[in-house]
Structures are given as structure tokens and as C-alpha cells.
Amino acid sequence: MPARRRRIIEFCAHLLHPDGESTTVPLLDTDLLLVDRCSAAATGQESTVPVCHLTVGLLEAALFWATGKDVDVEEVACRAAGAPSCDFRIRTGSA
């Protein structure tokens, strides 16, 4: 996976939480996972489906700007739905 994609995800994580303690970006095979433990979009919300659409859009737009390619971003867990964190899977594939 190109390092540029990881750097832009880490930059977005820093924008979401400058303290650096609320987000992590682990590698899942060839995909990345942005783990946001205190998402502002989910704070005080209750839902059966993920609600952090703004964060998904931010990640997709930032990655498109950085790489010129569409990247699939999916919120796979959400605090509003009872998960301990909002998890965003960034499917980068092998390209």
C-alpha cells in the first residue's frame, strides 16, 4: 500500500482529534482502519446504523485529492449504534 494513503489518513485522524490519543490507524491486510474513540458525529446519538457520514466523506475526498483515485470508505462500527468506537475501513487494495 502506498505510504501516501496512510499519511493522508493519519492527517485526517489528526484533524478529527489533535490530541492524537483518540484515534489510531492500524493496517488490516492491505486495508486501513481509522478507529475514532470519541467521534463528534456519534456523541449523544442513538441509531441502529452508522451515522458518521461527514467523516466518511472527509476521508474519501482527502484520499481522492491525494491520489487521484476513488477509494472505498465504509463505517463498519459506530458509537451511536453501541460500538466502543467508530471504525472506518479504507479499502486500498494492492494498488
Q: Position 39: which residue type? A: S
d(CA 25, CA 51): 20
30-34, 39-43, 90-94: the lowest-pLDDT one: 90-94
Between 5 and 50, residue with greater pLDDT: 50
With left for phi above 0 and alpha for psi between -120 and 50, is residue 68 left, alpha or beta? left
Between 28 and 51, residue with greater pLDDT: 51
| Residues whose CB is less than 8 angstroms from the CB of residue 94 and which lie 6 or more positions away in sequence, other chains included | 1, 30
Q: What is the pLDDT of residue 35?
A: 92
Number of neighbours of residue 58 by Cβ within 10 angstroms? 16
Predicted model pTM: 0.80
Between 54 and 15, residue with greater pLDDT: 54
DSSP string, 10-47: HHHHHHH-TTSSSEE--EETTEEEEEETT-TTTTT---
| Residues whose CB is less than 8 angstroms from the CB of residue 54 and which lie 6 or more positions away in sequence, other chains included | 41
Between 81 and 4, residue with greater pLDDT: 81
69-80 pLDDT, tens digit each: 899 999 999 999
d(CA 60, CA 73): 6
